[in-house]
Amino acid sequence: MRLRIDLGYDGQAFSGWAKQPDRPSVQDSLESALATVFRVERDQVKTVVAGRTDAGVHAVGQVCHVDLPEALGVRLDDANELARLTKRLRGALGKDNHVWIHEVSAAPEGFDARFSPVARRYEYRIADSHALRDPRLAGHTVWRDEELDMASMNTLGQALLGLHDFAAFCRAREGATTIRELQEFSWLRDEQHVLVGRVVADAFCHSMVRSLVGSAVAVGAGQLSTDDVLRLRQEGARTSAWKTMPAHGLTLMEIYYPDPEHLAERAEQTRAPRRLPAD
């Protein structure tokens, strides 16, 4: 029996999504709560997440799934039971926990929280010298002393789009591909003139979003040109030409899934080895 869990969390309270020895994590909090709700041992509730956020990164639209033993007898076709389950899971997490459960639902056939998505959307907030700095949002916004040129940052974002090897922006992981399709990378200023970056891709490799934002900040500050960044991307190796931005400015906003009839097909496509098209 597979459950889909939609949730959000304040990343400042955690060392990231993934369980780590002697450090608080979103996964550990959630799995402990699930074990309490279903009165089972912890090893019987293993969550699989759409995107493993780093320490300090927030989420409002995270998704995970968990497979439950059928012996538990959960009625996945009963909307009232699922609503009660959502409420009980919130209660097991506790009022002081920094995780919020939006909804618990029955996962459609073929659904895989990690492999079925077609895209993920992140948001990054920067208050430069042109922006109003709201202390209440300091834990979710990076403050910069200089004024950044948003037009130059958008020019870079447009130039980076498409299917490419983003190794220049990723921390290497053995056996992991760095080929990704960047679908949107754009900037606007909100009502307080805070720069808000919108980053959408089919998937992201480790630290890719914060590194992309770092390259945009370098261009916006006049330290690099768009051509410089494109040249470094083409070289296909991790670079120190720009800084990876702090985690607290980043929030996972939304996970996009295909229609239910295409979930299994999408998961199979995602698991297949990725290659760039031949010139």
Distance CA 70, CA 207 (A): 38
Relative to beta strand 2-9, strand 58-67 is antiparallel
Catalytic residue from among 10, 28, 54, 128: 54
Measuring CA to CA, which residue among 82, 50, 46, 47 is closest to residue 63? 50
Give the other-Cβ count within 10 Å of 196's Cβ. Answer: 16
CA distances from 252 to 56, 122, 255 (A): 11, 5, 8
Burial class from Cβ neighbours inside 10 Å (0-12, 13-18, 19+) for residue 184 reads: middle
**Known active-site residue 149:** no
Compute the CA torsion angle 34, 36, 41, 46 (nearest 10 deg): 10
Measuring CA to CA, which residue among 210, 212, 202 is closest to residue 232? 212
Measuring CA to CA, which residue among 201, 259, 172, 249 is closest to residue 51? 201
CB neighbour list of residue 20: distance below 8 Å, 6 or more residues apart: none
Distance CA 75, CA 77 (A): 5
* Active-site residue list: 54
